[in-house]
């Protein structure tokens, strides 16, 4: 290790950790729920795929969030991945806005769990919460994906350095070019156009 590497190290308190994490570019999602615990939702970047066998993802939620109790009581949620043009709704679901005002900013349908699915989300994952672990201030919710709907055709919305940004979609049709447009790196072939809906058979 060189001296300059040592000098650039920052002690890892909560604020240094938050600052470091702000460098990561993340997809932005609305996590929604409805049922006996009431309708609720919040903006989240802490969403990650766990497994495709069976299809499982995780969501990290602050136990102090107003959506926490409804999520746990309902045992179901929908992960709605946002695109360009969703900055306002992302801000509303990002806290301190009454739930009715948050949901008034979008149009919704239901896919099976009862959780609201944003009609123009890039993709919606309708889920049952199957397990949860408390870690620090947050719970990690493990979610079985029971249905997937994709309708939105917008560029992806990212959150990076505490700002919303967009990632252009890969060019339509054919295989990805060797040098993707505007600096975006394409990974594999893009999925077919148009809405797709996958429902779990069991
Ligand atoms: C871009 C962005 C990403 C966020 N990601 C998360 C997250 O992954 N988990 C979480 O618990 N809160 C996250 N938050 C914060 C919640 O959206 C917000 O604090 C939450 O809605 C609590 O506010 P409320 O109690 O007024 O509903 C994020 C906020 C923004 C703006």
Q: Is the CB of 140 under 6 A from ligand 1?
A: no
pLDDT greater at residue 1 or residue 95: 95
Whether the predicted model's global pTM rises above the 0.95 cut: no
Mind listing the pLDDT tens digit for each residue in 16-45?
A: 999 999 999 999 999 999 999 999 999 999
Q: What is the pLDDT of residue 10?
A: 77
Cα(81) to ligand 1 centroid in Å equals 14
Mind listing the pLDDT tens digit for each residue in 117-134?
A: 999 999 999 999 999 999
List, as one string, the DSSP characters of the chain: --HHHHHH-----HHHHHHHHTTS-EE-EEEEE-STT--EEEEES-EEEEEETTEEEEEEEETTSTTHHHHHHH-EEEEEE-BTT-HHHHHHTTSSS-HHHHHHTS-EEE-SSS-EEETT-SEEEEEEEEEEEEETTEEEEEEEEEEEEE---SPEEEEETTEEEEEPPPPSSSSPPSS-GGGPPP-SPPPPSS-EEEE---
Q: Is the CB of 151 under 6 A from ligand 1?
A: no
Q: Is the CB of 158 under 6 A from ligand 1?
A: no
What is 24-176+192-199's CATH topology? Answer: Pnp Oxidase; Chain A (2.30.110)
């Amino acid at each position: 290790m060189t001296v300059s590497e040592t000098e650039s190290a920052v002690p890892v308190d909560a604020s240094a950790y938050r600052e470091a994490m702000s460098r990561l570019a993340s997809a932005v999602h609305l996590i929604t729920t409805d049922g006996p615990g009431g309708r609720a939702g919040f903006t989240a970047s802490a969403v990650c795929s766990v497994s495709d066998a069976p299809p499982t993802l995780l969501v990290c939620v602050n136990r102090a969030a107003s959506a926490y109790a409804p999520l746990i009581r309902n045992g179901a949620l929908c992960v709605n991945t946002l695109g360009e043009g969703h900055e306002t709704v992302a801000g509303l679901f990002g806290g301190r806005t009454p739930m009715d005002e948050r949901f008034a900013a979008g149009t919704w349908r239901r896919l099976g769990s009862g959780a609201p699915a944003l009609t123009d989300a890039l993709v919606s994952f309708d889920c049952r919460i199957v397990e949860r672990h408390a870690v620090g201030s947050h719970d990690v919710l493990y979610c079985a994906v029971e249905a997937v709907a994709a309708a939105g055709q917008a560029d992806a919305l990212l959150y990076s350095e505490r700002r919303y940004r967009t990632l252009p979609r890969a060019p339509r049709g054919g295989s990805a070019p060797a040098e993707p447009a505007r600096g975006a790196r394409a990974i594999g072939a893009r999925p077919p156009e148009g809405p797709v809906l996958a429902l779990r058979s069991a």
